């Protein structure tokens, strides 16, 4: 019986050193699919390779041979003895395979639950399978269902909501203060990956002018050029505090780069417009006393981490809702899968009846030479109607959903009773 | 007639439930339902007041029941306008129950028409009352927005993002909405007071009678004028503006209710039980 089988490894079963050895580029994926297609054990195949997983999704009626084919191919193609990666491989069949695919696509199996890239990666893998013609009825239906389920999980639960990175958490916070970033000026003091990422997020969200201050003016100029902003001298910071709205600070300075007194003096001149400090540095750059001033808000890296942790907990809670949606979808897919057998059986049954009817009509009409054409047609109509009525009840029963647990039993009995498998 | 007011109250109460459902469950459909229920209530309310107006021939501010009914009506109306303009979904959690409570209290008072002389048959009276009430409703909303602002600001400053943090909009939106409410309130109050002066001159022959309500309204007016002045010059925004909006509304409550019940004057006629 043709069924769905998934085999692979992911970030939970294999360390990155192993995963990178078994990674497949798009071209390599095409080659792999070609090899799988030639194997008699594998009817349909798809391969997905991301930094966190390498998985082969197949439709096969011979699981063990299919699995061996894949293992041997991996070993030969990647020059890695099977024993090196065999322990990290997991293999799922039937409903478990379907559930796994749904979960992965909905980002429930990702390192960071709710991450948005995995769906695109699966879509790409599917495209390759389509172009290589290695996906058929089963995988096509499965993948289309997968995309639908992933979309449902994303939209009906909050797993993708709220920031789970420091930089994005800072930006989300900014949005709670400012509403929109349009026209808001940003000052970057120092440099660093998280700080620069935050600036990029802000730019993408239509922030206004970007100013960069660095102890080494040359570095500031380079960064400013990257953000299409303006570089200022470190000493000029106090002067510019009056004009900027968001300050991101990430320097190696052991002392405060911006003190309470500096800010207190300019609040009035800013006409009390809100001021948001994002302090990513350790030791801290921004005097925490500034948070006590009117309309000024200071968040240091611990505060931001706290937000990220809160959000991660929320995502994990939402993931439970996602699992429920996946479970529903697995059951629904199983129904479809079983119905696959019903239609061909009914068709075969009807065909057999009609063949018998045709044969008998021919025989009988030969002995009734006096009948007209109209009479021939009437007899034909009669037998058709008889067949239809005879098969009506059995067809309904086989198609109905109520007996799905016994469906395969009924199907099997039908096929045996009417000898459909000769 | 009574049945009408009950229907109105039911709409307002259902709207309150809708908004609270939105507050706890955060599904947008609840907020929309709450809004439309409020609209429905407001329409019925307008019809009820209209009937009363036509029935009695003069503007229905005869007794505490009618006055409170007009108050509820203006608050609902002003809220609907600001909600449409600023899309501050959470504000309904403050406005819908406020309107419901006002109307429930209104119903508790008897609706006996008072023996009033003809002083009610004057368009300036209608203008005065409606303008002042719209002004006060705006200030009531500003107070609500101020409360939300303080809640949200506390959540952000203390880094404890509790129940409300996700459900409240940005500080900027709250501040802007509060400012709009105060501007509207001040404009309408000014207009309403002027209309009141014109009316007083027409009926009693003088603009100002040192009536306690007039005095306290003047104080209220000065307070909001000061608030606006400070905002435009020095930049009294954010936290300070929110606190002032709340204090201002407290003064309004006294001006509106306290004066009538605690002090004597010609406005007392309108809120006699």
Nearest CA to A157 among A326, A309, A308?
A326
Instruction: Give the residue-averaged pLDDT of B185-191.
Output: 93
Whether B162 shows a pLDDT value over 70: the answer reads yes
**B164 contacts in chain A (CB < 8 Å):** none
CB contact under 8 A, B235 and A294: no
A334 touches chain B (CB under 8 A): no
Instruction: Give the residue-averaged pLDDT of B218-229.
Output: 91
Instruction: Give the residue-averaged pLDDT of A268-285.
Output: 89
Are A188 and A199 spatial neighbours (Cβ–Cβ below 8 Å)?
yes
Q: Is B90 exposed, middle or buried (0-12, 13-18, 19+ CB in 10 A)?
A: buried
pLDDT tens digits for range A25-55: 999 999 999 999 999 989 899 999 998 999 9
**What's CA B192's distance to the chain center, in Å?**
14
d(CA B195, CA B186): 14
The total of other beta-carbon atoms located within 10 Å of residue B257's CB is 15
Q: Over B165-210, what HEC string results?
A: CCCCCCHHHHHHHHHHHHHHHHHHHHHHHHHHHHHHHHHHCCCCCC
The confidence score (pLDDT) of residue A400 equals: 78
Whether A97 shows a pLDDT value over 90: the answer reads yes
CB within 8 Å of chain A, chain B residues 223-242: 234-240
Active-site annotation of A, residues: 51
Are A393 and A380 spatial neighbours (Cβ–Cβ below 8 Å)?
no
Helix (H/G/I), strand (E/B), else coil: B220: helix
Instruction: Give the residue-averaged pLDDT of A390-411.
Output: 76
Structural domains in chain B plus CATH codes: 1-113 (1.20.120), 122-267+269-273 (no CATH)
Instruction: Give the residue-averaged pLDDT of A304-315.
Output: 88
Nearest CA to A241 among A253, A251, A249, A250?
A249
> Given the DSSP bridges, would you call strands A3-10 and A53-60 parallel, antiparallel or unpaired?
antiparallel
Nearest CA to B77 among B120, B44, B124?
B44
d(CA A346, CA A352): 10
**B149 contacts in chain A (CB < 8 Å):** none
d(CA B52, CA A172): 51
| Nearest-Cα residue of chain B relative to residue A274 | B238
Whether B66 shows a pLDDT value over 80: the answer reads yes
Q: How confident is the model at residue B186 (pLDDT cuts 50, 70, 90)?
A: very high
Which stretch, A28-32, B61-65, B208-212, has highest mean pLDDT?
A28-32
More confident residue, A416 or A354: A354
The confidence score (pLDDT) of residue A401 equals: 65
Partners of A6 in the β-ladder: A57, A92
CB contact under 8 A, B235 and A271: yes
Model ipTM value = 0.80
Kindly report whether the global pTM for this prediction surpasses the value 0.80.
no
Helix (H/G/I), strand (E/B), else coil: A214: strand
CB contact under 8 A, A178 and B152: no
The confidence score (pLDDT) of residue A397 equals: 84
B173 touches chain A (CB under 8 A): yes
> In sequence order, what are the residues at sequence separation of 6 or more whose Cβ sits closer than 8 angstroms to the Cβ of residue A408?
A338, A341
d(CA A308, CA A301): 10
**How close is the nearest chain B Cα to the Cα of A305, in Å?**
11
Nearest CA to A148 among A333, A419, A314?
A333
More confident residue, A100 or A306: A100
More confident residue, A184 or A269: A184
d(CA A77, CA B58): 94
Nearest CA to A69 among A99, A96, A93, A33?
A33
Task: Please give the angle made by the CA atoms of A333, A336 and A337, to the nearest 5 degrees.
Answer: 85
**A270 contacts in chain B (CB < 8 Å):** 235
Nearest CA to B147 among B237, B239, B35?
B239
The confidence score (pLDDT) of residue B189 equals: 92
pLDDT tens digits for range B87-113: 888 888 899 999 999 888 888 877 766
The confidence score (pLDDT) of residue B273 equals: 45
Residue A184 phi/psi, 5° resolution?
-85, 135
Instruction: Give the residue-averaged pLDDT of B17-36.
Output: 88
Are A212 and A220 spatial neighbours (Cβ–Cβ below 8 Å)?
yes
Partner residue opposite A310 with nearest CB, options B157, B161, B234:
B161
The confidence score (pLDDT) of residue A53 equals: 93
pLDDT tens digits for range A340-395: 778 888 888 999 999 999 999 989 888 888 888 888 889 989 999 999 999 999 88
Mean residue pLDDT across chain A: 90
């Amino acid at each position: 019986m043709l069924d769905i089988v998934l085999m692979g490894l992911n970030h939970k079963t294999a360390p990155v050193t192993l995963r990178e050895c078994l990674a497949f580029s798009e071209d390599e994926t095409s080659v792999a699919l070609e090899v799988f297609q030639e194997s008699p054990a594998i009817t349909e195949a798809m391969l997905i390779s991301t930094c966190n997983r390498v998985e082969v999704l197949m439709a096969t009626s011979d699981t063990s041979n299919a699995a061996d084919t894949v293992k041997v191919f991996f070993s030969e193609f990647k020059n890695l003895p099977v024993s090196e990666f065999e322990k990290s491989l997991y293999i799922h069949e039937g409903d478990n395979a379907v559930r796994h695919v749904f979960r992965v696509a909905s980002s429930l199996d990702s390192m960071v639950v709710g991450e948005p890239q995995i769906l695109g990666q699966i879509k790409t893998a599917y495209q390759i399978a389509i172009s290589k013609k290695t996906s058929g009825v089963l995988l096509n239906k499965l993948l289309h269902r997968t995309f639908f389920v992933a979309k449902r999980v994303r939209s009906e639960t909050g797993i993708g909501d709220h920031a789970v990175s420091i930089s994005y958490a800072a930006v989300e916070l900014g949005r709670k203060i400012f509403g929109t970033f349009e026209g808001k000026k940003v000052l970057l003091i120092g440099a660093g990956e998280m700080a620069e990422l935050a600036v990029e997020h802000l730019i993408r969200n239509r922030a206004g002018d970007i100013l960069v201050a660095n102890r080494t003016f040359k570095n500031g100029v380079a960064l400013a050029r990257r953000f299409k902003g303006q570089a200022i001298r470190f000493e000029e910071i106090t002067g510019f505090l009056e004009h900027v709205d968001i300050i991101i600070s990430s320097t190696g300075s052991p002392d405060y780069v911006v003190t309470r007194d500096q800010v207190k003096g300019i609040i009035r001149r800013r006409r009390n417009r809100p001021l948001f400090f994002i302090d990513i540095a350790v030791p801290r750059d921004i005097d925490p006393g500034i948070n006590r001033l009117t309309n000024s808000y200071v968040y240091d890296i611990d505060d931001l981490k706290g937000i990220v942790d809160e959000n991660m907990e929320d995502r994990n809670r939402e993931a439970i809702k996602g699992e429920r949606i996946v479970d529903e979808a697995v059951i629904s897919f199983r129904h479809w899968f079983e119905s696959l057998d019903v239609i061909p059986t009914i068709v075969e049954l009807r065909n057999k009846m009609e063949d018998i009817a045709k044969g008998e009509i021919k025989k009988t009409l030969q002995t009734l030479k006096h009948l007209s054409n109209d009479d021939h047609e009437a007899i034909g109509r009669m037998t058709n109607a008889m067949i239809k009525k005879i098969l009506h009840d059995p067809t309904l029963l086989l198609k109905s959903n109520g007996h799905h647990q016994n469906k395969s039993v009924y199907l099997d009995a039908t096929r045996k009773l009417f000898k459909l498998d000769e | 007639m009574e049945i009408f007011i009950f229907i109105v109250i039911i709409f307002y109460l259902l709207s309150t439930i809708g908004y609270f459902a939105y507050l706890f469950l955060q599904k947008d459909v609840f907020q929309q339902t709450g809004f439309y229920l409020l609209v429905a209530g407001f329409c019925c309310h307008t019809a009820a007041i209209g009937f009363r107006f036509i029935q009695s021939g003069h503007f229905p501010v005869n007794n505490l029941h009618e006055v409170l009914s007009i108050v509820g009506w203006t608050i609902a109306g002003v809220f609907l306008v600001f909600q449409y303009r600023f899309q501050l979904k959470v504000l309904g959690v403050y406005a819908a129950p406020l309107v419901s409570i006002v109307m429930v209290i209104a119903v508790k008072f008897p609706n006996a028409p008072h023996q009033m002389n003809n002083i009610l048959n004057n368009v300036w009276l209608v203008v005065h009352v409606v303008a002042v009430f719209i002004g006060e409703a705006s200030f009531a909303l500003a107070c609500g927005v101020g409360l939300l602002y303080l809640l949200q600001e506390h959540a952000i400053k203390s880094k404890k993002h509790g129940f409300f943090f996700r459900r409240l909009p940005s500080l900027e939106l709250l501040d802007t909405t509060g400012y709009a409410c105060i501007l509207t309130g001040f404009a309408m109050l000014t207009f309403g007071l002027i209309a009141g002066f014109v009316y007083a001159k027409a009926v009693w022959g003088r603009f100002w009678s040192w009536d306690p309500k007039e005095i306290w309204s003047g104080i209220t007016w000065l307070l909001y004028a000061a608030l606006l002045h400070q905002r435009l010059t020095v930049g009294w925004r954010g936290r300070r503006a929110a606190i002032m909006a709340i204090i201002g509304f407290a003064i309004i409550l006294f001006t509106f209710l306290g004066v009538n019940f605690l002090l004597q004057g010609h406005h007392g006629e309108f809120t006699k039980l």
